[in-house]
Structure 1
Amino acid sequence: MTTTRSEVTYTPTFTDGDEFRLPTFKLLQQDGTLYDGAEAPDLDRDKALRIYRAMLFTRVLDERMMAAQRQGRLSFYMQCTGEEAAVIGSTAALDDADMIMAQYREQGALAYRGFTTDEFMNQLFGNEQDYGKGRQMPIHYGSAKLHYMTISSPLATQIPQAVGYAYGQKLAGEKHCTITYFGEGAASEGDFHAALNMATVHKVPVIFFCRNNGYAISTPTIEQFAADGVAPRAFGYKMQVIRVDGNDVLAVHEATRIARRMVVENNSPVLIEAMTYRLAAHSSSDDPSGYRSRKEEEAWREKDPILRMRHWLQDREWWSEDDEKALQESLRREVLETMKRAEKRQPPALETLVSDVYDVITPALAEQLEQLKAHIRKYPEAYPKSAGRGKGGA
């Protein structure tokens, strides 16, 4: 049985779909004014300032923690720099009870929802107050109370998982949705295509949010795909899609607000492609000077999404230079002081490595734990901060 609804033709006609060019939705210019013909979004002062504070906090956090990594105080870090509007603008358009399944550059989403500086630092340093009990590498955040699924390292695994979770939301009938974030590089994974197909076939309330930031680590988009970005792929799955300026926080918020209404009311998945740029390295292990020019980076720095929103707030007289200076100083002090506290906290107790893997610790795990303790006792100089020492551990 065929499911196509195509017309009949008697002339062989081929097409590559290039005639379907998607426009980019924009509202806010870099100087903080709206484009001619653009309508101001319905965004009140309190929410706008909440968004801006989260954007600025994320930038300050990224700067400080990258410096900490370079000082050897942190093993690894990934920055959101340049993509704050895409992440935070979209999160702000959701209900706070909607599920977020992130990739690894969405710390701004957590900041917006109220993840504290202490919670960020506990995870980054993997101490005894880390929700993940020190098992994850840095930036692999998770928060059940804030509806933010714990990050997984493998690329794109969260995309089909988001479809499954959203299917459960549909069955529950509570009118919530799931948003899943990923880069355009992850959209080249098979998981992406399987997820989009499953979402449309089963009609689930999920928003696929692609941060097209120009590079999959060192691979530019021109070497990743020949098509006009990621957005046109939605046509193959009969999915609603929009392309938006990812550095325009107002446009991102408006696009996501409408997308959320569509997916919740109609159980109709939506793909959003946010055109942005990764101003920082892919991670603390990457050197972008090897694959892109300083000139290119500087051109994008002039499109800084934080500066753009600041101009808009100032234009509306919701923000001032004194406000800016005070908040920046406050955030820098808060991040630095909290980091120092987190560094001094003890690691998780050694037993937490096995205590909740199974309902009851298996004999094999118990034996491995004893072997580990014996190893630490034998080489104490190699484990000056070993987990559990002095707490019934090794």
Structure 2
Amino acid sequence: MLVVDGHGADCRERNGIGMSKAAKAYIVGAYEHPTRKADTKSLAELHADVAIGALRDAGLTLDDVDGFFCDTEAPGLGPLSMAEYIGLNRLRYMDNSDPGGSAYLLHVGHAMEAIANGKCSVALITLAGRPRAAGLRADPAPDWNLPELPFEFPYGSIVLNQYAMCAMRHMHDYGTTSEQLAWIKVAASHHAQHNPDAMLKDVVTVDDVLKSPMIADPLHRLDCCVVSDGGGALVVVSPEVARTLKRPMIAVRGAGEAIKHHQGGQVDLTYTSTVQSGKQAFEAAGVTPKDIKYASIYDSFTITVLMQLEDLGFCEKGKGGAFVADGNLISGVGQLPVNTDGGGLCNNHPANRGGMTKVIEAVRQLRGEAHPAVQVKNCDLALAQGMGGWLGSRHASGTLILERI
């Protein structure tokens, strides 16, 4: 598990907690592809689009990039094929670690370590996908080479019922209700109405969520994320490079990663690997959940948000239902603004992998570039949280603590 930090000798105080002024790396470029259905673009074109968009945002060019990160869904030989297609000719570091939707948060942490170790100075991270245009289902076709498949496939295990099991377990153990889960979708819709690119812009109510068709008990259709094409990209650079640019410096203060699986039959559906990744990130940054002004939380389903909020320490285990209810996640209304772009529930879940957009919206908030209706006042410390894999079986979690300098 990766543990990284930005501690140094020159420290200041944030609510009594020391935090370093120096950081190992900074995010200086962020770009989200505006398309939600890429009928006329190939997967490689989408990677190139987001790469150029993020570099332009940073004030850099393809020739400045010497580190490249992508997932294994990139066409061809991953970073090798994409480097040639995009035109990255100066690479001396590549990484295609791929724990699903959390990959891009892990990439930020890996890029920071690579930069700190002198492996690269300008790291480009890309995500692209077109499942909607290709007519693909959210559930992938069975891969008969998977070691777990003979044990799980006969029982009809799919993405939806894996998450539904976690929701049902949470309800059984802690009294969580469908109405409380619905508030997560309501908050996302209140934010999405201000996002011109969001797939679902209409504000919904708790009743709207509960009246939508039941997909996998207790999850309704509106408890589920959208399926979209597009993608996004980030540019992470060394402190030396960051100081030469005319962009806000968003420091990577802490990063953590962890996995959880069935552990040889010791199945516990009540927590996620976020318990470990969040602890790493908070300790590395030297802050606590109370210091966070804004949070981007992976939202493949409403239950995914609730469990991660608990596991990150924003509320006690089992108290997530009460924490998310009554608009507590709505910017300008609640205690903790979450997913102010509309998130995967309403805005965008490109390639069925929502981690990239979580970092992008956190960067927007820290820069003060979110929509005015959802911009968090004095937003100087944000958290981005990603999840990859299936919550009910094997999954990976990535957590980032970001600060505006």
Fold shared, TM-score > 0.5 on shorter chain: no
TM-score (norm 2): 0.26
Structure whose alpha-carbon radius of gyration is higher: 1
Structure showing greater relative contact order (alpha-carbon pairs closer than 8 Å, 6 or more residues apart): 2
TM-score (norm 1): 0.27
